[in-house]
Structure 1
Amino acid sequence: MASADQTQLRAKFLQEAAYILAVPSPTTAAFLGNARNKLIEDAEVDISSKESDAYRRSVCGACGNVMIPGWSCKVSNKGNQRSIGNKSSELEKSICYTCLRCQRETHQSLPRERRRRKLTERLQPPVDTDPISEATTTTNKEENVAAKTINASSKQRQKARRGGLQAMLDKKKTQDSGAGRLDFMDFAL
């Protein structure tokens, strides 16, 4: 257990040193990043997938270069078509990191967006013939109406506030455009 902790501490030290030296000495930082990769690989330390993905984004797996977007790596979005069984082909989005030192491409897939339900589907309550559920739906409707009136009154207050601010701005403009201002034509000879 102690050796695993020491290995993790060494890996963390190498990683932080590589990040610190990324700008002043990119070659040294790449050497330290590569040493960290070899240390983790040789010791077979278990790393969570979240940490692994974050490290893959920040350090090249081939040369150990610290990848800083726009400086030492290029980032691009890609969409790949993939078919699953009998389903139609879906678009799988991924981010591609290209190391500018060794030209290695690292692909990381993005999580899929959940399909959003339509607004009408969310607003329609399920159909029940139970009298108890009808009573609860009427109370829910009353609560919804009360919430809508609260929102409506806050919206009205917001409109009134905006109107007050707009009136103040208009008043300020009329005061500024008065005869008290000087123009270049006032100094014409």
Structure 2
Amino acid sequence: MASADQTQLRAKFLQEAAYILAVPSPTTAAFLGNARNKLIEDAEVDISSKESDAFRRSVCGACGNVMIPGWSCKVSNKGNQRSIGNKSSELEKSICYTCLRCQRETHQSLPRERRRRKLTERLQPPVDTDPISEATTTTNKEENVAAKTINASSKQRQKARRGGLQAMLDKKKTQDSGAGGLDFMDFAL
């Protein structure tokens, strides 16, 4: 376990050093990025997929170049059509990072957007004409009134807190304006 921690610390050091040297010395940064890639592969360290994706976006997998969009890499959106089972072909969106040093393309697929329900569908309660449901709605109304009083008291506390903060600021202003003497900032250029 200690060796895995040491490996992760070394990898983090190499990654940060590559980021620092990306603009002043891109060749050195690429060497350090490549060394970090090899270290992780050789040690077979488990990295979360989120962290792995972030590293793939920021460092070229072939040459180790730190990919800064517009500086050392080009970013483009792509949509690939693919058919899934019986469904018609759907457009899978992905981002393509092209390293300007070795021209390698790194593709990362974007997660699909979830379908959103309309707000009106969620807000409309089901319509029932049962007398039992009418009795439950009266109890629900009583619960809503109790919840509103709780919210009202929290709003009152919030107003009181704001008033207290405003009073403290006003007091501070009067103390500052009453000092009258010279301050260090009066002599600053």
TM-score by length of 2: 0.70
CA shift digits 1:75-120 (9 cap, x unpaired)? 0111111111111211111111000000011111111111111233
- Which range moved further: 144-153 or 6-15? 144-153
SS of the counterpart of 2:115? Answer: coil
SS of the counterpart of 1:176? Answer: helix
- Which range moved further: 160-169 or 63-72? 160-169
Partner of 1:167: 167
SS of the counterpart of 2:120? Answer: helix
- Aligned mates of 2:31, 2:154 — CA distance in 1: 60
- Which range moved further: 71-80 or 130-139? 130-139
C-alpha displacement at 1:56, in angstroms?
A: 0.3
- Which range moved further: 38-47 or 115-124? 115-124
- Aligned mates of 1:18, 1:69 — CA distance in 2: 16
What stretches of structure 2 of length at least 5 have no aligned partner? none
- Aligned mates of 2:108, 2:89 — CA distance in 1: 19
- Aligned mates of 2:179, 2:39 — CA distance in 1: 78
CA shift digits 1:119-154 (9 cap, x unpaired)? 332232224454343455578799999999999999
- Which range moved further: 90-99 or 154-163? 154-163
- Identity in percent: 99
- Which range moved further: 80-89 or 137-146? 137-146
Distance 1:90-1:174 versus aligned 2 partners, 3 A rule:
farther
Distance 1:11-1:151 versus aligned 2 partners, 3 A rule:
closer
Distance 1:96-1:145 versus aligned 2 partners, 3 A rule:
farther
- Which range moved further: 80-89 or 48-57? 80-89
- Which range moved further: 48-57 or 157-166? 157-166
TM-score by length of 1: 0.70
Partner of 1:96: 96
Distance 1:69-1:153 versus aligned 2 partners, 3 A rule:
farther
- Which range moved further: 21-30 or 162-171? 162-171
- Aligned mates of 1:52, 1:90 — CA distance in 2: 26
C-alpha displacement at 1:184, in angstroms?
A: 44
C-alpha displacement at 1:58, in angstroms?
A: 0.3
C-alpha displacement at 1:167, in angstroms?
A: 30
Q: After the TM superposition, which parts of structure 1 deviate over 3 Å for at least 4 consecutive aligned residues?
A: 127-189
Q: What's the RMSD between the two structures over aligned residues?
A: 7.3
Distance 1:144-1:37 versus aligned 2 partners, 3 A rule:
same
SS of the counterpart of 2:179? Answer: coil
- Which range moved further: 61-70 or 154-163? 154-163
- Which range moved further: 131-140 or 106-115? 131-140
Distance 1:45-1:179 versus aligned 2 partners, 3 A rule:
closer
- Aligned mates of 1:99, 1:44 — CA distance in 2: 25
Partner of 1:7: 7
Aligned length: 189
